[in-house]
A and B are shown apart, each in its own frame.
Chain A
Amino acid sequence: MELILAIGIGVLTSCGVYLMLRPRTFQVIIGLSLLSYAVNLFIFAMGRLKTGAAPVTASGAIDPTQFTDPVPQALVLTAIVIGFAMTALFLVVMLAARGVTGTDHVDGREQR
């Protein structure tokens, strides 16, 4: 389980970084999206992996090892919302740049 998650995060990150360094705005935005998935999974993993455990702790004396850590899940939720909003915003800027410059190169002009 740990290995699969680690490999998944690694593949997403490397693809994301590679695409982010590409010259087309569409590649950059897909790269940023992949990177944000990788980061979200990473935050989730920081709460330690547990299968079949409830995230919400009951009141009274409890054994914390029986529950998963709810904090990273709350963090991931926030990070997803913010990441999604920022990607949407980037998309708008990207479309504006495409419209004004007439090219989808990140520098606004084709390389000679």
Chain B
Amino acid sequence: MTSLLDHLTVLPILLPLATGALMLMLDDRQRVTKAFINVFATALLVFLSVAMVIRAANPADLLAVSYPLGNWPVPFGIVLVADRLSAMMVLLTSVLGLSALVYSLARWHAAGPNFHTLFQFLLMGLNGAFLTGDIFNLFVFFEVMLAASYGLALHGLGLARIKAGLHYVAVNLGASFLFLIGAALIYGVTGTLNMADLAAKVATIPELDRGLLEAGAAFLGLAFLLKAGMWPLGFWLPTTYAAATAPVAAMFAIMTKVGIYAVLRLSTLAFGIEAGASAGLGQTVLQLGGMATIAFGAVGILAAQTTGRLAGYCVLVSSGTLLAAIGMGNAFVTGGALYYLVISTLAVSAFFLIVELLERIRIAGADVLAITLEAYGDDEEETENDEVGLAIPGALAVLGICFSICVLLLAGLPPLAGFLGKFAIISALFNPQGLTEIAPITPAAWWLAGLMIFAGFAALVALTRTGISTFWATMSDTPAPVRVIEIAPILLLLGLTVVMTVMAGPVMDYMYITAENLHAPAIEIGNILATPLVVEVAP
């Protein structure tokens, strides 16, 4: 226990904490130094999380999966768990973080004070929430993440951001109190806050206390679903995301996934098949709520008047799909959903970054697009005749290609990975026992498949309309002022989805094994409860 890599599990939390604290000491005038430190730390974080995913795929010993913080024995101390799901989410966070950060260096990081510090604290909160195996510690990391996100949502100020920020803070403060009530109820009934210990105790709860435990779980679920933006808890989401600056919105794309991760983690761990009378708690709520979210998001996509809001509704559709898929409680569906989770997060993130560049190249007034234009007719034919024969500038071509890739991913069309993700979910819905066995298809499966296809269609219609009005109808005379460090992160994110399309086999295998482990948690519960101490102490 001397090598730093033995403590790999805790490093994705400590590194952003130390970096953020260090940058707090630098004055904001030393912005270039801060930017260098931040990029270096975030790149290091990407390497650490890659190492973590590799280790989680082939754990060498028990300490590789769970790590007792402060050398306190489980279940009395806080334990960090870096299993396949957590490691994957941390990797996703760090990749998004690096892209959003590089993008912000073009101009946004200079729009207000302490951007870099808040950014690192947001990464710390996200990584901590993904890694912790303790309910109250999850609350603390949620608050770290939220506190940083309040600052980042207001970054750049302006009327729209302050108005949206006020609602965002109030709603999430309310959610935090629900979280606390839920955690306290669960502690009051089971006497533990450790998730694995809780899972081991759920089946043996006396019948009289079961109602209280389930109420506690429902309170926790409300707090998580509010973060995930499930209908009717997600009305704050499109406004806040559309008002935030582009790199911040790109990071926020994963914050809804924290809620989904927490729902997935607790529902499979504590309320899986081994939970006795409480097995499958809340699955109907997840199914119905998820489907309602997809429907609401799809209608929102069609009705959105600005591209920023459109992207916000895409987040809702992605959340709804994932929640409904998790509600099915089937390992195959969950496997497909995990693949879809990664793809949709990368795609939405890239889309938030592209939206800002689109706003720059389109002429004024094109924001009130689509419905209004179609209702009153497009009278701009005359003015655009002088553009005939104008060569398309290189930047615009790259931007157009990136936009088309985003459309394919968000609408779920072949040949890209958005299609593969949706296909994996729908295929598993129709073959719940695997491809070799014929099983009856539930009505919920039909509804979910239909809604997913409808949402894809809605996204296709709305995004095509945006694309036409941006790239064809309203091209401005001057070439788009797009810098390399703005387009490079988008290319990185979209490139990763292309890699995930080509390497779909191995990636899917990883997801399916992850889902199987999630739905059969007995081994992992045993492993976590048997976590060895980092340093043995004499009794």
State the A residues within 8 Å of B (CB): 20, 25, 28, 32, 35-36, 39, 42-43, 45-47, 71-72, 75, 78-79, 82-83, 85-87, 89-90, 93-94, 96-97, 100-101, 106-108
Across-interface contacts of B193 in A (CB, < 8 A): 71
A39 touches B180 (CB 8 A): yes
Question: Is B184 on the interface with A (CB-CB < 8 A)?
Answer: yes
Q: Which of B175-206 contact A (CB under 8 A)?
A: 176-177, 180-181, 183-185, 187-188, 193
User: What 12 additional pairs, Cβ within 8 angstroms, besides A85-B147, A93-B154?
Assistant: A46-B188, A47-B188, A75-B187, A78-B140, A79-B180, A82-B143, A93-B166, A97-B163, A106-B166, A107-B163, A108-B162, A108-B166
With an 8 A cutoff between CB atoms, is B159 at the interface? yes
* B150, B154, B169 pick with most chain A CB within 10 angstroms: B169
Contact A101 B184 (CB under 8 A): no
What are 7 A-B pairs at a CB distance below 8 A? Answer: A75-B187, A78-B136, A89-B169, A93-B154, A93-B162, A93-B166, A101-B159
Residues of chain A contacted by B170 (CB below 8 angstroms): 20, 28, 32, 90, 106
B167: chain A residues within 8 A (beta carbon): 106
Residues of chain B having any CB pair with chain A under 8 Å: 136, 140, 143, 146-147, 150, 154, 157, 159, 162-163, 165-167, 169-170, 173-174, 176-177, 180-181, 183-185, 187-188, 193
Is A43's CB under 8 angstroms from B162's CB?
A: no
Tell me if A90 and B173 are in contact (CB < 8 A): yes
- Chain B residues with CB below 8 A from A46, complex form: 184-185, 187-188
Closest to A82 in B: B143
Mostly, the B contact residues are helix
Please state if A93 and B169 are interface contacts (CB–CB under 8 Å).
yes
Question: Residue of A at shortest CB range from B186?
Answer: A46
For B184, list chain A residues within 8 Å (CB). Answer: 39, 42-43, 46, 72, 75
- Distance in angstroms from A22 CB to nearest chain B CB is 11
5 closest pairs, A vs B, by CB?
A46-B188, A43-B184, A108-B163, A46-B184, A39-B177
Q: In the bound complex, what is the Cα–Cα distance between A75 and B184 (angstroms)?
A: 9
Q: How far is the CB of A67 from chain B (nearest CB, A)?
A: 14
Task: For residue B142, give the distance in angstroms from its CB to the closest CB of chain A.
Answer: 10
Nearest A-chain residue to B143, judged by Cβ: A82
A18 to B138: give the CA distance in the assembly, Å.
28
Give B165's nearest chain A residue, CB to CB: A93
A41–B169 Cα distance when bound, in Å, is 23
Query: How far, in angstroms, from A96 to B161 measured CA to CA in the complex?
Result: 11
- Cross-chain contact of B162 among A28, A42, A101 (Cβ < 8 A): A101
For A108, what are the chain B residues with a Cβ–Cβ distance below 8 Å?
Answer: 159, 162-163, 166
Q: Which residues of B contact A85 (CB under 8 A)?
A: 147
Residue pair A97, B176 in contact (C-beta under 8 Å): no
Task: Provide the bound-state CA to CA distance between A87 and B177, in Å.
Answer: 12
Q: Which residues of B contact A82 (CB under 8 A)?
A: 140, 143, 176
Contacts of B169 in A (CB 8 A): 86, 89-90, 93
Whether A89 lies near B147 (C-beta < 8 A) is yes
In contact, B162 and A97 (Cβ under 8 angstroms): yes
Known contacts A32-B173, A93-B162, A97-B166; decide if A71 and B187 are in contact (CB<8 Å).
Answer: yes
Q: Which residues of A contact B162 (CB under 8 A)?
A: 93, 96-97, 100-101, 108
Among residues of B, the one whose C-beta sits closest to the C-beta of A96 is B162
Considering only CB atoms, which chain A residue lies closest to B193 in the complex? A71
* Interchain CA distance A25-B181 in the complex, whole Å: 24
CB pair A36 B177 closer than 8 Å: yes
Give complex CA distance A89, B146 in Å.
Answer: 11
- What is the bound-complex CA distance between A90 and B77, given in angstroms? 32
Known: A108-B159, A108-B163. A89 touches B150 (CB 8 A): yes
Contacting residues, chain B, for A97 (C-beta < 8 A):
162-163, 165-166
Separation in Å of the B290 CB from the closest CB of chain A?
Answer: 27
- With A43-B184, A71-B187 already in contact, the answer to whether A86 and B136 are too (CB < 8 A) is no
Return A84 CB to nearest CB of chain B, in Å: 12
Separation of A78 and B140 alpha carbons in the complex (Å): 8
Residues of B within 8 A of A86 (CB): 143, 146-147, 169, 173, 176
In the complex, what distance in Å separates the CA atom of A78 from the CA atom of B143? 11
